[in-house]
Structure formats: C-alpha cells, structure tokens
Amino acid sequence: PVYKKANPDVRSLGGIFGIYHIHVLGAKDKGITTMAQLADMIKAGKKIRLAAPMKGTSDLPMMKTILGFYGISLKDIEKAGGKVFHAVYSDMVSLYKDRHVDFVFTHLGLPGAAITEMTMSRDSFLISLSDACIDHLHKELGTLARDSGRSFIPKGTYKGQNVDVPTVVSAGELIINKDVPVNIAYTITKIICENTDELYKISPANKNFKPETGWKNVALPLHPGAEKYYKAVGFMK
C-alpha cells in the first residue's frame, strides 16, 4: 500500500485535474516489448539495470505494485546481480543516455520531457502493461479504469512509437476533508465548475477537467456538497 493506514476522512470534489501515465522504457536492443517479458527475464535470473523513482515518492509504491502483479520485486533484480538506481527524472535521463541503465520507470504527463530526451538519445521501446495489470492497479490504487478510454500512451507521442501502448494512468482530483460543511463544499465546486476559463489558465493539466463529468473517474467518495452541486445542475442523476 502507498500509506501505512487508510484515511477515512478524505472526500473528493471532482476530477480530472491532470493525467499521468506510467512509462516503462527499454532500450530497443534488449528486445523487450511487454512487462510480462521483462518479468520473465528477471525471474530467469538475468541481470538488468533499471532506473526507478526516488524513495519517499508516491511513484515508487505504484511501481512496486506493478512489479508485484507480475510476481517480481526490486530485490529480485538485485539478487540476480542487476542494479536498481533510485533517481530523479533528470538523473534518469543521464543514466539512460550514458547506458548505465537499459530500463526506466517513470510516471509523467504526456509528452514526458524526460522520455522524449531518452528516446532521442537511444533507440527505445515503450513497454506495455496487460489489461489485467491495469485493472489490478485500478482496484488497488484507484488509477483510471480501462473504460475511461485513457489507459494508453497514444502512438506518435515519442520517437519510434508506432502503436498505442497500454499502461496504467492516474488522474489528479481535488480532495477535501469530510467535515467541511456541505454549503462550503458546494460553493467551492460551483466556483470551479463555473469558472473553467480561469481554471485552465492556471495549468494546462486542468483542461482535463470537464464540469459535466467532474463527478466521474474519482477514486474517493464525493463530498455531499459536491454531489449536491452536480445534481443541482443536472450533471449527475
């Protein structure tokens, strides 16, 4: 789990306020195109060199959950004589470009500048995740479901990427304490939904938020105040 214990006091005002894709990038000469193939390689005791997110970030538990689904762990890589480098994205770029690692795990919006730079420096392949893995992460961590229509990296996003690549996708949502009064949560939701021009100016990522569907694709229960607003304007039945 990402956290040691659940927080029952958190509610959502809506989403999506940003979309972030898991990128598992591999050097093309390694011949790996799916996460299952990479897992089999590790299980067979073959050495790999991997750049992973920094400890203490939310990206690392997400990576560990994906690896766990495939029956492997970072420790398995090290036991086989491989290396795991925990690094920030700028350092991952250097590690990959200088061929100190052949695989990289990131969690970025599209297009990810770090991935763009890596694919320009070496022939690379984005490694796909299975539908079952995507479903597992949705159940365990609240990432987007496949029926959201967003669980892939569109072809042409990066150099040499000729097909859509299925992957886990997370979405930002606006959260609030459950004890915030209904009228306040209602007003905040109303202001956000009725001032999207200003909202979109704050960050391009906010353009993913559409008031009509703001109550959908959230990992947390809606605050009653937010639910009241979405129903009042007819977005939610």
| 153 DSSP β-pair partners | 165
d(CA 34, CA 99) in angstroms, rounded, equals 21
> Could you tell me which residues come within 8 angstroms of residue 224 by beta carbon, excluding any fewer than 6 positions away?
182, 185
- What residues are paired with 104 via a beta bridge? 25, 51
Give DSSP secondary structure letters for 211-234.
Answer: GGGTTSS-SSPBPHHHHHHHHHTT
CATH superfamily of 19-170: Periplasmic binding protein-like II (3.40.190.10)
- Please give the Cα distance from 237 to 235 (Å, whole number): 7
Spatial separation of the C-alpha atoms in residues 184 and 177, rounded to whole Å: 11
Average pLDDT, the chain: 94
DSSP 14: E
**What was the pLDDT predicted at 2?**
64
pLDDT at 151: 94
SS3 72: coil
Task: Give the residue range(s) of CATH 3.40.190.10 domains in the chain.
Answer: 10-15+173-232, 19-170
Structure tokens at 236: 């939610």
pLDDT confidence bin for 1, thresholds 50/70/90: low
- pLDDT at 229 (0 to 100): 98
CB atoms near residue 202 (< 10 Å): 9
Q: Which CATH number fits domain 10-15+173-232: 3.40.50.1580, 3.40.50.10090, 2.40.50.140, 3.40.190.10?
A: 3.40.190.10
Those residues whose C-beta lies under 8 Å from the C-beta of residue 31, and which sit 6 or more positions away, are: none
pLDDT in tens, 29-74: 999 999 999 999 999 999 999 999 999 898 999 999 999 999 999 9
**Nearest CA among 149, 148, 168 for reference residue 216:** 148
What region does 146 belong to: left with phi over 0, alpha with psi -120 to 50, or beta? alpha
DSSP helix/strand/coil, 172: strand
Q: What is the pLDDT of residues 172-207, one digit of tens each?
A: 899 999 999 999 999 999 999 999 999 999 888 888
Q: What is the pTM of this model?
A: 0.84
Q: pLDDT value at position 6?
A: 83
Percent of the chain with pLDDT over 90: 83
Please tell me what DSSP assigns to residue 12. Answer: E
